[in-house]
Amino acid sequence: MAKIHPFRAIRPTRDKVHLVAARPFYSYKQNVLEAKLEDNPFTFLHIINPEFGSKATTKGNTLDRFELVSKRYSEFLEEGILIQDESPTLYIYRQSKPGHVFTGVICGASVDEYLNDSIKKHEATLTSREQMFTDYLDIVGYSAEPVLLAHKSSKEIENLLNLITTVRAEYEFTTTDLVMHELWKLTTSETELIQGAFEKLNELYIADGHHRSASSVRLNQQRKKKGSTLLNENAFLAYIIDESQLEILEFNRLVKTMNNMSSEEIITAISENFEIEKLPGKQKPAENHQFCMCLEGDWFLLTCKPDIIDNSHPVKCLDAEILTQYVLSPILGIHDLKSDDNVCFMSGAESIEKLEAQVTSNKYKIAFILYPATMDQVKRVADNQMIMPPKSTWVEPKLRCGLTIYNINE
């Protein structure tokens, strides 16, 4: 049973929503971030960057910085930039971009279902980062970036969403990346119908946001030990979407080192476990268990030999794991993708030309393009309580911060 919780969203006024809502601050280049902060007094980025334009200086990700974030958030409320709905409800959010439409429900997802594994995970979290986010949530008292959850296809949910979205949305605006954003605030009866439809689902899957969800759960456990009984602590902000609507892209690998080997030696070593074909130019792999490699500007297609594919194991059969176990680690000396500075990652949302330029400019020596993992592969790993390799998937939609803010302290 998937229990979803209505809540009283804190959100921008209708006339300012296009100015307030923003991508997560870490997704902006520094010059773009500064320009947005300079030109737009209403952007949510001012809350996350409370020292902009002042002489105050605190260290990032510290309690002092979090206190300033909380203060700036309160100022947005006092100035009427943000308002809070009078009664708990659910929200439908639709994001439309060329070639793809995402429609789902913004709600509170159950902490209890996270703990009993009805909300399934496929990624390990770092304890230090998890605690940092927990401290942040505890001090600022809100969550502004939903965890992305996926559910199996449901005709009942699909029909309800289609029906509710026939009326004009509360919010409708387009951002400069050509994405249209729409938000509907549900009535009490619509909320009850959506809740009833979700209760017929057995599980949900985290598609993006493992640290955000884990931190919310950690805060819940910490506060419960202190006797807290706040209702909103028992859930975390989530956006739940039909798994068939998710767009799962690959995370490609860029490598700085050739591990004191020549191109010919690397190709010879790779050929032990892969069929290698020279390509006339850049391209992406056409199917699972294929990789395209740019080695010092030349392109090659690598196809796994059958004996290295272990389809009986949910993780070992993943292309991201195969590449690590048979190329990155034994040949290039990269054993830990989380800590080794010789490897970095570029999402499949970036162009192949941009990836190739990283090699031809000699910033990196080798690039590997992977075939995207599927939702079935992600679910198989999660169902078996296993962990996917680091940076296995780039999942869209990417949500805007500050569109519906979840007040933890209610």
**pLDDT band for position 17 (cuts 50, 70, 90):** very high
Return the DSSP state at 201.
Answer: -
Judgement on whether residues 286 and 313 belong to the same structural domain of the protein: yes
Query: Residue 56: pLDDT above 80?
Result: no
Q: Residue 121 domain-assigned?
A: yes
- Whole-number pLDDT of residue 109: 98
* DSSP per-residue codes, 1-46: ---EE-B--EEE-TTTHHHH-B--GGGS-HHHHHHHHHH-TT-THH
Q: Residue 96 domain-assigned?
A: yes
- Whole-number pLDDT of residue 407: 97
- Whole-number pLDDT of residue 126: 83
0.85 exceeded by pTM: yes
Query: Residue 249: pLDDT above 90?
Result: yes
Q: Is 179 exposed, middle or buried (0-12, 13-18, 19+ CB in 10 A)?
A: middle
Judgement on whether residues 234 and 263 belong to the same structural domain of the protein: no
- Whole-number pLDDT of residue 54: 82
Of all residues in the chain, the percent with pLDDT exceeding 90 is: 92
- Whole-number pLDDT of residue 194: 98
3-state secondary structure (DSSP) of residue 89: strand
Judgement on whether residues 94 and 123 belong to the same structural domain of the protein: yes
* DSSP per-residue codes, 353-399: HHHHHHHHTTS-SEEEEPPPPPHHHHHHHHHTT--PPTT-EEEEPPP
Strands 142-143 and 298-304, by their bridges, are: unpaired
Q: Residue 208 domain-assigned?
A: yes
Query: Residue 57: pLDDT above 90?
Result: no
Q: For residue 335, give the CATH number of its domain.
A: 3.30.1760
- Whole-number pLDDT of residue 324: 98
**332 in Cβ contact with 383 (< 8 Å):** no
Q: How far apart are CA 174 and CA 161, in angstroms?
A: 21
Q: Could you identify the residue written with the tokens 């790993």?
A: 381
Query: pLDDT tens digits, residue range 117-127?
Result: 999 999 989 88
Token representation of residue 78: 């006092």
Query: Which among 105, 222, 210 has a CA at the least distance from the CA of 164?
Result: 105
**pLDDT band for position 25 (cuts 50, 70, 90):** confident
Q: Judge if the upstream peptide bond of residue 12 is cis by omega within 30 degrees of 0.
A: no
User: Which residue range(s) make up the domain with 265?
Assistant: 249-372
φ, ψ for residue 212 (rounded to 5)? -65, -45
Q: How far apart are CA 214 and CA 320, in angstroms?
A: 24
Judgement on whether residues 11 and 148 belong to the same structural domain of the protein: yes
- Whole-number pLDDT of residue 26: 84
Q: Residue 391 domain-assigned?
A: no
Query: Residue 136: pLDDT above 90?
Result: yes
How many domains does the chain divide into?
2
Query: pLDDT tens digits, residue range 317-376?
Result: 999 999 999 999 999 999 999 889 999 999 999 999 999 999 999 999 999 999 999 999
